[in-house]
Every structure is written in C-alpha cells, then in structure tokens.
Chains A and B, each alone.
Chain A
C-alpha cells in the first residue's frame, strides 16, 4: 500500500505541483529572466524533436537547428508577405516544416546508420547557407526585422508573461503528445527500429517510411518552435540557426537523458540556466561551460534523468523484494 502511495506521489502530485509552480513563474520573475525562460522553452521544443528522432527512433540528426530556421523563416514570410494571422502562420509553418522534413527523410533514410547523421550535417550546412544567401526569402545576411508579435484573434500578445503562457502551453501540449506517441503503435515502431531494425522489419515495420515519419514529426516540433521564436524575437538572422545550435540540442538531450521527454526538459533547463549562471564570469563563461559538459558527461554518461530513473527503479526493486520477503 505504501508502495502505491510513492508511485502516486511521483506520478501525479509532483508533476501537479511542478505545473502549478510553472504557471506562477511570471508572478515572481523579472522580465529578463522570463525572456531567458521563453527562449529555453522554445529550445525545449527543438530538443523534444531530437527526442523523437534520436531518443525514440535512434537516428542522430544534426539538422534540427536548420529545421528550426525553416519554421522561423516560413512563419515570418507567411505573416509579412502573405498577411496570414500569426496563429495560422504557426500551424502552417509547423506543418510545412513537417512535410519538408518528411520528404527529405525519404531521400536520406535510404542511408543506414551514421550515414544519415552525415547527411544531416550536410543538410544543416546547406540550410544555413541558404538562410545567409537567399535574399528574397530570408533577407540574406541582414535577416528579417520587425516581425509582428503573436496574436490570437484580435488580441496581440506582446508582453513577456503573455508570451510565456503561449509558449508554455504549446510545450505542455507537445509534452503530452509525446507521451501519447510513446504509447501508440507508431511510437512502438520507432522504438522497434531503434532497438533492432531487422527485428522491426520482421514485425512488418517499414523502415524508410517509419523513419521519415519520425523525422517529419521532429520537423513539426522544430517548425512550431521556429514560428514561436520568430514572433518572440521579432528578428531573424542566419547566425541563430547554426550547426553549433544543433550540437547544443544534442548536448542538452544527452545530459538530460535521451529516453524521456522529462529528460529532455531537464537537459534543456540545465544548459540554458548554466549559460545564464556563468554569464557573470564573462571571459571564462564559455570555457567553464565546455568543461562542465565534459565533466557531466563523464560523471553521468546515461544522462541525468537516465541515471535518476535507474536509481528510482533500483529503489522500487528494493522495496519490492523487501515486500516479498515480508510476505
């Protein structure tokens, strides 16, 4: 009985408290810190996209920041050139990026294992080159400025707290969609490919199609993140959507643990906040950041959440054996 209670606490009460805490954040946080959090949450969507393609499907991609950029530039163009309302632009750019990723996936996933990863590095460089040079669509090196803020209906959301709630709810929705995906036949086929591709094929899983769908879903997440970023920042530059940004997503998910959306969240927050915390050290900031990544990786190669979960499982096992011995 006591056992059940612990599970209940961990499954419902703690997340409930966390949710309430999150909703209250704008009440006690300064504008600057809230901006940091908003950016972190947008980053979380991109890290979540890596969770789908890497954590679930086992395919490492370095193109996520590129897809993020595709979403951002799409949204800016939809709003500024075609006069679409921001909400529609958000949905359209998410969908558009998903289709873009899905089609590319069909070409790239003919390659096996790390050859896909190589192609994704190439894709990232090509996309960045396009962002920098395709003046008509991306504004080239000058970028796009004066992107209007997000709005729903007629209500324009300009304030930092307002943006926080919009982004937070989209992240929350994405989080739960990931949980649904995890328990669906599609999610299982992703994981079957990750764990043993041949065995998955022998259970009727079409590798090429399934991986492309996974890449498409990750594209949808990045696209939404891109649109949100465009509305929040109001300014897009090719220097944002770089290979380095993609590697940062990988660092984040590896630190948090690739096996769950919660791990992705923890990794994102740690790195985002770490960057803020070391900011006062200025000159040494990046150096410490790099060293911190190395140390964290060596101490906890399975990721922080991965390690935490292992301890939790161990605890459960202990209490279980204790129970059976008592019986």
Chain B
C-alpha cells in the first residue's frame, strides 16, 4: 500500500483555499493541503499562528469565510459540527475535554456511541478493540469504574485519543497531544498514532515537540500568522529559511 504514490490515491480530506478572519486578524489565509489514508500529516507553527483555528474550521466549530473543505469528494463546509463527526472527522483538544463527573467507562463509551451513530458494524469486536487501545495507551491497570479525576493529566489526554479512535474515524485531528507529557507517556501517544495508521486513518498532528513531529510525520505544513509559509517532507522543512526565521523570531519574542 505504501508504495503507491500520492498522485494515484484519492485524498481523504482536502482543504482548498480556506480563509478565516477574526475582525482584522487573518487566522487562515488561503490554506490548502491534502490528507491521504494512513498518513501522518504535521501542522506546525509558532504560538498564535492559526493551527488550532484550522482544526476548529475543519471540525466546524468556526465556519470558513471562503474556500472548501472536502471529505471523500464531498464539500462539507456547510455541515454542522455533529454531522462532521458522524462522517468521520474526530478531534482531541489541547486540554482534554472529558465528562468530569462520570466514570472512565462512560467516557470511553462516548466513542462507541459515535461509532454506532456512524453505523460502523463490528460492534461485537468492540471489547477487544477497546482492550487493544487501552493497552496501547498504557491504561490497562486502570479501574474503569473510577471517576475521571483519578487519572493523571497525561492519562486523560490518552483517554481522549482512545475515545476518538473507538469511533473508527476517517480523519483524526490531534491538537498538541504531547504537550505536558513525559517521555513514557509520549511513547504511548506514538503507539496510539501507529494504531490509527494501521487502520488507514489519516492523522493531522499539531505539535510543538519538534523531534516528535520530525520523526513520525510523512509531510508537514508550517503556518505563521495564518499564512502557509512552507510545505513538504520533514528534511526539507528543517532546511527552509522562512521556517527557521519564523521559529527563531517567535521563540526569541516568547523568551523575552
């Protein structure tokens, strides 16, 4: 499968000239890229460059000003948020948004509920799939009837990805999954992304941890002030002078 080049495959998700402004601030200007099944696509850029906005546009939390978002050949820009989830676009949040006052099982079940709404048939394998996912996330020895507050921050982030993957999405949007996690937990994130890739899910990864992005993403695009300043494979991006300038400039400002 991997030997087939991108030009022969149909993209799963395609952004064409997506624009969004908030008052005078341009959060996304003519953004275009394509995601293919089983691919890990990185979206990087300094703070405030419009990465999370882009995820919000894809999931429908914000509506686009112009441009189109195409899933499997169908333009979804007019689709409400919940229907986008039901056609297979699932995301996680920078800070995990779980049912704070329910047990872990109820939280995970929401993923299963979405799979049911998506009319994904293999419900009998649900338990097995959940077991595999929980193991990949390092959550095997957690009591599912415990409340969510008993989990660490990292475990909560993991749980959110598990929940998303249980719904068998077509596109998984990860918003800074590794932020605030230690090395060990980072490896679980990689396990979960691997699981997604094996199921031919395309993964859009927003991340600040450069080593993680450079090591697992096949392709990247770099945003700065809502502009797409570079796209390509990781080795090209690392050499790109515009990217280096944006990052060094950005980090210097941030430090001072």
Contacts and interface: CB of A to CB of B under 8 A. Distances in A.
Interface in A193-235: 195-196, 198-199, 201-207
A298 B163 CA distance: 38
Given A185-B116, A198-B61, A203 B99 contact: no
B99 A201 contact: no
B162 to A, nearest CB: 13
Interface in B28-62: 59-61
B74 interface: no
A8 B113 CA distance: 30
Most buried by B among A195, A203, A205, A259: A203
Interface residues of A, number: 19
Contacts of A191: 99, 101-102, 106
A35 interface: no
A195 B160 CA distance: 14
Nearest to B106: A188
Nearest to A187: B106
A90 interface: no
B101 A203 contact: no
B158 interface: no
Nearest to B112: A185
Contacts of A192: 99, 110
Interface in B79-125: 80-83, 85-86, 90-91, 93, 97-102, 106, 109-111, 113-114, 116-118
A191 B109 CA distance: 12
A203 B85 contact: yes
Interface of B: 59-61, 80-83, 85-86, 90-91, 93, 97-102, 106, 109-111, 113-114, 116-118, 147, 163, 167
Interface of A: 183, 185, 188-189, 191-192, 195-196, 198-199, 201-207, 259, 313
15 contacts: A183-B106, A185-B109, A188-B102, A188-B110, A189-B110, A189-B113, A191-B101, A192-B99, A195-B97, A196-B97, A199-B98, A201-B60, A202-B90, A203-B110, A204-B83
